[in-house]
Structure 1
Amino acid sequence: MAQPVAGQDAAQSTIGAEIRASAGGKLRDFYGPRGYWPLWVDGNRLGAQADALLALVRTARLDGLNPKDYDPRGLERAMEDANGSHGDPRLLARADIALSKAFAELVKDMRRPSRRVKMRYLDPEVEPKDEEPADILRAAAVASSFPDYVANAEWMSPFYMKLRAARASFAKRWADLPAVAIPADVKLRPGGKGQGVSMLRRRLGLPDGSSYDKALAAKVRAFQADHGLKADGVAGAQTIEALNRGPDWYDRKLTLNLDRARLLPGPWVRHVVVDAASARLWYYSKGRQDGTMKVVAGAKESQTPMMAGMVRYATLNPYWNVPSDLVERKLAPRILDGASLSRLNYEALTDWSANARPLSQSEIDWQAVADGRQQLRVRQLPGGSNAMGKVKFMFPNDLGIYLHDTPSRDLLAKPARHFSNGCVRLEDAQRLGRWFFGKPLKPESDEPEQHVPLPQPVPVYLTYLTAAPGGDGVQFLPDVYDRDGG
């Protein structure tokens, strides 16, 4: 909503005078600095943003909230009174205040983290904050389109809102169907008959019968599409497994993933999201998605954690500090078999300090390293074969997790990409670097470990979304890390 300027409708100023007389408490902290100018009024009636808020309030159960806490009936009455009053300043002011109060409360509650989900926060900038009503309302007031901001709930992550919408349609289509268990050892096809087909018809809410007819095939295809399965109309092993899970399983899965998505910022915050479950990355700014790419995430035994921090600098021509277990299991045996440390493009160091001295290969008891009796610091030198590629983006943490380039392009072509030691390998590190810095990233020389600070640190969120919007339904991804609890 634009701030007041000379020559604007005098009625708005009259409504402002009514707001000045009626607004109390923390709402005055918002209205006061804007001259008590109304937020929800366009001309002599409430704008589309008011209807959008009421729609969100009425569907607040999708957010795990109780719509009654925001008085939808009271809001509706205030809106009807205001819009039917032919511009009565008192009624418009009353509705404006009621809408602002409900909006601030709803936004605060939608953003509140759930205790079911644990995210490690590395920096105070990314920790959830208990925002004041004035801050919530001020952010909405400066949006480029306030009606769109409310209608799309742009204070929430796009992941959250897409999953919220998918949950609503998913529940309408599949939540109330009979809980009939289908035998897991059968494959049911169009044209077939028998008891398994009869059970499948009952499970999908179709009339009794034993024929796999066109209606059943269409219903199976719809179920498959809404569950992220290949919609071929054949009830094979994956489809029967999905049918036998039942609505409670899906509701728990959707609730859990909404709570994970709840921790992510809205698109007006410049930030990066890495989803380890789907092995993809997205980046946002100015209310929109700027790009996306594939990544390689951690393997099951070396998981990418759920954490959030601030990307503060890039390192060009990076070393790769080889994990001690890989030195023991893979590198030491090769050296014992006659390989050369320097020809493999590695170097060993005396310790893990900044002043560590390089060791010659002959100084090291490689058998002790291979047996696990001695730990050794080894790093891979910069170059075309370096596991870090040409650049890594650092958000400092004690787990050694970061985003980095990779020469292993073959892994990015795989549909399931969980192969790393916990770090995130990027499909296009140079593109992400241009987004971070606003220009191409180029080292000044061949010197290793050139650190380049970001003009402005950028939040990065590493999450794990095993349910995500897909097509017209929900794609349920494998729980690779066993974090969903069954």
Structure 2
Amino acid sequence: MLRSLSLLFIFFFLWTEVRAQEQLQPYRPYSKDRMEQALLQYEAIAKSGCWHTFPDTLLLRPGDSSPLIPQLQDNLLLTGDLPLDSASSALVYTSGISTAVRHFQRRHGLAPDGVVGPVTVAALNVLPDKRLEQLRINLTRYDAVFTSEQEPYAIINLPEFMMQVVDSGKTALQMRVIVGKPVLKTYPIHSRLDMVVLNSYWQVPTSIAVKEIVPILRRNPGYLAKKNMVLEQSDGSGWMRISPWEVDWQRITAANFNYRIIQLNGPDNELGVVKFPFPNRLPQYLHDTQAKQLFSYPSRAFSHGCVRLEKPVELAYYLLERGSGYTAAEVKKLWELGRPNHYVRVKKPVPLHIVYFTSWVDEQMEVHFRDDVYGYDALLGL
């Protein structure tokens, strides 16, 4: 415990120095300087030999007693999650320790329920050496990612499942996002937000059409009408709308699928009320979603590769007001016109950075870790 306290005082002075330096620098939601200080912290933790691991079966709720409470407190003191004045010599899981566990859970992207269960134990059992390597791997990504930080810009950190719009030295807009499944990744990219599409159509990607919709059409061609979808067939020079009842769906495969399925705008449209296409060579874009309940999950890798936004309307207002000179009333009028699939160009595009950081340090000097959802850290040796 004494070694833990000594480390805490060292970390306090390091953090104070970095915060003072950052007052003179541009605002950055992800900072290389802060990461370098976190490396020093976790190097010290790793060398201290004070880190404890716990049985996978451990379960602690406020009021529970356990001989492992002192070891849990040691870890939380080392990481700064538990303030010194909340530590206790009793073998009881106090409300103060529960608060510290919630803080630890938030930093690791877990549901902050204050209960030490299997998922939290798994995070506690990651040794400081591993966290140190995770920090080093992510530090190497900074120079490649932040080649330009001219404000305003939008940044999406895939393992964090969050988007921020940075403008005038602060976060102007922040929201949760849903990204691609591990088998259908959303890829890191540098691009720009230069278009807003109101009341958008959804052209169903061929992979989804073949794998998910064609099997339904074999049973019921009326499914498309129920979902406000239309079917088009290529004649070599263009697309012609046809009836799904005219197609022998039993014979349709990925090899002979020369159709496209489009969902028209409406209350059931999978893209919601707005989408944000951006220049890239992949079928990736940002959009609204009907599945709002998915934003409540801590880990949100559910999509087919596009990025679903928690606050898409707010982003549309921001881009059109700031980037195209519309007033809020004029933007509202655009919505009220109700034009289907209405493209509005953003005259002053906002840079978009889709990045991949599984560890970073925020403005409050809190060190965050996330799961390597796409395995990119593993490719670099972690």
- Please, what TM-score do these two structures have when normalized by structure 2? 0.72
2:239 counterpart letter in structure 1: A
Q: Deviations over 1:453-480 (max 9, x none)?
A: 1121111011122224466632322222
Given that residues 401 and 424 in structure 1 are in contact (C-alpha distance below 8 angstroms), is that contact kept between their aligned partners in structure 2?
yes
Root-mean-square deviation (CA), in Å?
Answer: 4.0
| Alpha-carbon distance between aligned partners in 1 of 2:174 and 2:102, rounded to the nearest angstrom | 26
2:368 to 475, 482, 486: 475
Q: Deviations over 1:21-44 (max 9, x none)?
A: xxxxxxxxxxxxxxxxxxxxxxxx
Change (3 A) 1:326 1:186: closer
Matches within 5 A, 1:410-421: 410-421=293-304
Matches within 5 A, 1:28-43: none
| Alpha-carbon distance between aligned partners in 2 of 1:278 and 1:345, rounded to the nearest angstrom | 34
2:134 to 223, 244, 253: 253
2:183 counterpart letter in structure 1: E
| Alpha-carbon distance between aligned partners in 1 of 2:24 and 2:357, rounded to the nearest angstrom | 20
Change (3 A) 1:365 1:170: farther
Matches within 5 A, 1:19-418: 151-152=22-23, 154=25, 157-160=28-31, 163-164=34-35, 167=38, 170-171=41-42, 174-178=45-49, 182=53, 184-187=55-58, 191-193=65-67, 213-214=89-90, 225=103, 228=107, 237-238=118-119, 240-262=121-143, 263-264=145-146, 268-340=150-222, 341-351=224-234, 355-369=238-252, 371-375=253-257, 376-418=259-301
Alignment of 1:460 with 2:352, yes or no, is: yes
Q: Deviations over 1:238-261 (max 9, x none)?
A: 455344432221111112223334
Given that residues 467 and 474 in structure 1 are in contact (C-alpha distance below 8 angstroms), is that contact kept between their aligned partners in structure 2?
yes
Shift of 1:330: 2.5
Specify the SS of the correspondent of 2:193.
strand
Given that residues 156 and 353 in structure 2 are in contact (C-alpha distance below 8 angstroms), is that contact kept between their aligned partners in structure 1?
yes
Given that residues 318 and 391 in structure 1 are in contact (C-alpha distance below 8 angstroms), is that contact kept between their aligned partners in structure 2?
yes
Change (3 A) 1:200 1:415: closer
Given that residues 268 and 286 in structure 1 are in contact (C-alpha distance below 8 angstroms), is that contact kept between their aligned partners in structure 2?
no
Given that residues 161 and 177 in structure 2 are in contact (C-alpha distance below 8 angstroms), is that contact kept between their aligned partners in structure 1?
yes
Change (3 A) 1:350 1:394: same
| Alpha-carbon distance between aligned partners in 2 of 1:237 and 1:331, rounded to the nearest angstrom | 38
Change (3 A) 1:202 1:346: closer
| Alpha-carbon distance between aligned partners in 1 of 2:132 and 2:255, rounded to the nearest angstrom | 49
Change (3 A) 1:462 1:201: closer
| Alpha-carbon distance between aligned partners in 2 of 1:408 and 1:333, rounded to the nearest angstrom | 22
| Alpha-carbon distance between aligned partners in 2 of 1:377 and 1:201, rounded to the nearest angstrom | 58
Given that residues 346 and 379 in structure 1 are in contact (C-alpha distance below 8 angstroms), is that contact kept between their aligned partners in structure 2?
yes
| Alpha-carbon distance between aligned partners in 2 of 1:415 and 1:259, rounded to the nearest angstrom | 26
Q: Deviations over 1:353-380 (max 9, x none)?
A: 89422122234231223x4342231111
| Alpha-carbon distance between aligned partners in 2 of 1:151 and 1:434, rounded to the nearest angstrom | 31
Name the residue aligned to 1:425.
308
Shift of 1:393: 1.2
Shift of 1:192: 3.8
2:49 counterpart letter in structure 1: P
2:31 counterpart letter in structure 1: Y
Shift of 1:335: 2.2
1:253 counterpart letter in structure 2: Q
| Alpha-carbon distance between aligned partners in 2 of 1:168 and 1:197, rounded to the nearest angstrom | 27
Structure 2 unmatched ranges of 5 or more: 1-13, 79-87, 322-326
Given that residues 349 and 359 in structure 1 are in contact (C-alpha distance below 8 angstroms), is that contact kept between their aligned partners in structure 2?
yes
Q: Which shows bigger deviation, 175-184 or 408-417? A: 175-184
Given that residues 163 and 258 in structure 1 are in contact (C-alpha distance below 8 angstroms), is that contact kept between their aligned partners in structure 2?
no
Structure 1 unmatched ranges of 5 or more: 1-58, 64-147, 207-211
The higher-RCO structure (CA 8 Å, 6+ apart) is 2
Specify the SS of the correspondent of 1:478.
coil
Specify the SS of the correspondent of 1:416.
coil
Change (3 A) 1:431 1:446: closer
- Please, what TM-score do these two structures have when normalized by structure 1? 0.58
Name the residue aligned to 1:30.
none
Shift of 1:419: 1.3
Q: Percent identity?
A: 25
Change (3 A) 1:404 1:354: farther
Shift of 1:157: 3.2
Given that residues 300 and 418 in structure 1 are in contact (C-alpha distance below 8 angstroms), is that contact kept between their aligned partners in structure 2?
yes
Name the residue aligned to 2:10.
none
